[in-house]
Amino acid sequence: MRGTMLYGPRDVRSEERPYPTIVEPTDAIIRLSAACVCGSDLWPYRGADPVTQPTPMGHEYVGIVEEVGSEVRLIEPGQFVVGSFFASDNTCEICRAGYQSSCIHRQPGAPTGSQAEYARIPLADGTLVATPGLPPEDLIPSLLAASDVLGTGWFGAVAAEAGPGKTVAVVGDGAVGLCGVIAAKRLGAEQIIIMGRHDERIALAKEFGATDVVQERGDEAVERVRELTDGFGVHSVLECVGHGASTETAIGIARPGGAVGRVGVPQEETMPASLPAFFGNVTIGGGPAPVRAYIEELLPDVLDGKIEPGKVFDKTVGLDGVPEGYRAMADRESIKVIVQP
């Protein structure tokens, strides 16, 4: 079958790979309907994370179940399923508390890579959510988004305590930030400030419900957000970038008693402890999103077309086009690339 391997910085290849097989009795094999390129795939692609050996790529996916292991009870061949970037048992104490991304049996969601024709999915019963019947083709991008960016934006909004009547700022206009806007809107936020600089992303953010745009950065961004919020800052901040500077801005624009939900993978070892975090009474939560926790909740709205997170995909490639997809995202020509095998 065709699959995607990363060999080193800017060296990602679509090549022949062995068909995945059941390894553990809790595994499933799925035929991919769609996968995508994640912002986090770009860290090793750009050389920011070292690539020590050729690595199968892709961890966001939807597909049709081909085969299940002997201990799989809930998932069956023929079902259309949505997965997550981490596999989780969905039964341990940590999963039951809603933190499947920290499941005590957590493992990579698609160890053979989902940018491929087929993939092995561990802990299938815990990880996969089946849709009622086969969804129509045009919903596949939004269902695919539910396997990572939608749930990640959602978790950012939950961690930032977004809700009815709240003022919300979303730091970062990438796919996760845009899904964060969808989440803030669905959670009832009154004001949603998107912070970014790319015209087409800002336009999509507005379509998703953003009410204000802040293009400034650093101290100027903090100043601008305060102007937009009667001098207070916002109740809720979604940090969807992960840089030290964006994290400082995120904490700086929260109002006293506000909350920051960090879903951008941190690129620095430390963050501010004192001012304004402590002295501003700002709560800082987040982390790897327990996407699995939200799939059932968000699926009906996706299937009804009430939310359309699939709009974050602005470039489509086949498996042979995956290297071009990486390039386009790395060069910021594309927000997010969908892979249709």
Based on the shown chain and the rule CB under 8 A, indicate whether residue 102 belongs to the binding site for a second copy: yes
Task: Name the residue type at position 215.
Answer: Q
**Which residue has 């969808």 as its token pair?**
182
**Separation of CA 339 from chain center:** 16
What's the DSSP call for residue 116?
A: B
Please give the span between the terminal C-alpha atoms of the chain, in angstroms, as a whole number. 10
Based on the shown chain and the rule CB under 8 A, indicate whether residue 9 belongs to the binding site for a second copy: no
Binder of a second copy out of 257, 300, 305, 318 (CB under 8 A): 257
Site for a second copy in 134-163 (CB under 8 A): 159
92 versus 303: smaller Cβ distance to a second copy: 92
Based on the shown chain and the rule CB under 8 A, indicate whether residue 247 belongs to the binding site for a second copy: yes
Binder of a second copy out of 186, 224, 262, 311 (CB under 8 A): 262
Q: Smallest distance, Å, CB 201 to a second copy?
A: 24
Binder of a second copy out of 35, 38, 284, 307 (CB under 8 A): 284
* Alpha-carbon gap, residue 168 to 191, rounded angstroms: 6
Binder of a second copy out of 107, 191, 215, 283 (CB under 8 A): 283
Stretch that binds a second copy, among 37-45, 51-59, 90-98, 133-141 (CB under 8 A): 90-98
Stretch that binds a second copy, among 44-52, 58-66, 115-123, 275-283 (CB under 8 A): 275-283
Q: Smallest distance, Å, CB 158 to a second copy?
A: 11
101 versus 127: smaller Cβ distance to a second copy: 101
* Alpha-carbon gap, residue 246 to 261, rounded angstroms: 12
30 versus 259: smaller Cβ distance to a second copy: 259
What's the DSSP call for residue 43?
A: H
What's the DSSP call for residue 288?
A: S
Based on the shown chain and the rule CB under 8 A, indicate whether residue 278 belongs to the binding site for a second copy: yes
Draw the binding track, 216-245, toward a second copy (x: CB under 8 A; -: no contact): --------------x-x-----------x-
Helix 244-252 to helix 218-228 angle, to the nearest 10 degrees? 30
Q: Smallest distance, Å, CB 122 to a second copy?
A: 19
Binder of a second copy out of 23, 48, 74, 97 (CB under 8 A): 97
Task: Name the residue type at position 276.
Answer: P
The answer to whether 61 and 116 are in contact (CB under 8 A) is no
Dihedral sign from CA coordinates of 191, 192, 194, 200:
negative
Stretch that binds a second copy, among 10-18, 120-128, 214-222, 272-280 (CB under 8 A): 272-280
Size of the site for a second copy (CB under 8 A): 39
CB neighbours of 321 closer than 8 A, spacing ≥ 6?
14, 339
- Residue 217, φ and ψ in degrees, nearest 5: -130, 165
- Please enumerate, as own/partner, the contacts of 15-21 that have beta carbons within 8 Å and a separation of 24 or more: 17/56, 17/112, 17/113, 17/116, 19/118, 20/112, 20/118, 20/119, 20/120, 21/120
Binder of a second copy out of 281, 297, 306, 332 (CB under 8 A): 281
Based on the shown chain and the rule CB under 8 A, indicate whether residue 286 belongs to the binding site for a second copy: yes
The answer to whether 321 and 154 are in contact (CB under 8 A) is no
Based on the shown chain and the rule CB under 8 A, indicate whether residue 191 belongs to the binding site for a second copy: no
For residue 191, the SS3 value is strand
Binder of a second copy out of 54, 132, 256, 318 (CB under 8 A): 256
* Alpha-carbon gap, residue 169 to 255, rounded angstroms: 11
Q: Smallest distance, Å, CB 285 to a second copy?
A: 4
What residues line the site for a second copy (CB under 8 A)? 93-94, 97-99, 101-102, 159, 230, 232, 244, 247, 255-257, 259, 262, 265-266, 268-274, 277-288, 290
